[in-house]
Amino acid sequence: MVVRLLPAILGLFFLTVAIQHWSTTRNGQPVNRPVEFTNKIGNDFCKHDAAEVRTTVEHLSSGDYNQILQARNILLGTARQSSDCRQLVIRSLMKAMDQPDLDFERQPSSYFLWREGSQLLGELKATEALDLLISHLNLTNGLHSSSMTFQPAILGVRQMGQPALPKLALALQRNPSAGVRMAAVYCLTEIGGLSAMNALKQAQVGERSSCVNNYIKISLSTFTYKSKTGTSFDNQAPQANADARHGWLTAFECVE
């Protein structure tokens, strides 16, 4: 009896499978099969969702070289996936960095975050972060270096290049902090170009800090020169030898 019913049972089984396959696949395309993505940002899909990006940003403050390197690679990779993913990374960095009462000397983790975050924002050409970076140009962990590593906001601003010039010029004229203005002179000089030179000359007229005024003067005399195309202002100045550059960097450390 069972043996005689076996073909019928098998036939019913294969018919059921065929009906289910037909209901879920039509012309080779799946239908009625919803797929959920937790990492959808706008109209794009990011490899890492917002929560993962925030966690990765936190790793930048660890001070551990390998952990920071891995975090940098993840954030840069995510940012390069699409414009929406890039904005996710930039917003996450800015939100983590924009904290009240920052003190890099007493908060090493904040310093590490700013050192890495500023460079990432600069590398991504995140001009929307310029206001945040410029307002913190004077923050330092108390040490000095010709690389400016210990004054991390500078790292990102100078990487922005020409797009940073208008806001730097404005900060040099209006920011109440002499430290911010001093750092703005440094960034303008590092970026170079006639617009930067003119911004320094205009600010020099009304500059009330003797340290900043002197730094502008030294910057202009060290890096302004005559070139084949006319007047130039950049690091290629023939008179900007090792001694001249050392004097320029030393003037940056002036404190009133």
- Of 130, 150, 179, the one marking the end of a domain is 130
Who has greater pLDDT, 72 or 37? 72
Residues 190 and 115 in one domain: no
Q: Note the pLDDT tens digit of each residue in 78-109.
A: 999 999 999 999 999 999 999 999 999 999 99
Q: What is the DSSP string of 160-229?
A: H-GGGHHHHHHHHHH-S-HHHHHHHHHHHHHH-SHHHHHHHHHHHHH---HHHHHHHHHHHHHHEEEETT
Q: 172 lies in a domain?
A: yes
Q: Judge residue 153's burial from the number of C-beta atoms within 10 Å of its C-beta, 0-12 exposed, 13-18 middle, 19 or more buried.
A: buried
Strands 224-227 and 40-41: unpaired
Beta bridge partners of 31: none
- C-alpha 43/C-alpha 51 separation (Å) is 18
Domains contained in the chain, number: 2
The pLDDT of residue 224: 98
Q: 84 lies in a domain?
A: yes
Q: Note the pLDDT tens digit of each residue in 124-171.
A: 999 999 999 999 999 999 998 999 999 999 999 999 999 999 999 999
Who has greater pLDDT, 2 or 121? 121
Residues 185 and 123 in one domain: no
Mean of all residue pLDDT scores within the chain: 87
Q: Note the pLDDT tens digit of each residue in 103-127.
A: 999 999 999 999 999 999 999 999 9
Closest CA to 206 of 172, 180, 177: 172
Residue 233, pLDDT > 80, answer yes
Q: How far is CA 212 from CA 199, 203, 208, in A?
A: 13, 10, 8
How many other C-beta atoms lie within 10 A of the C-beta of residue 199? 24
The pLDDT of residue 22: 41
- Its domain, for residue 176, covers 161-256
Q: How far is CA 28 from CA 15, 20, 21, 25, in A?
A: 19, 14, 10, 6
Q: Report pTM.
A: 0.82
The pLDDT of residue 45: 66
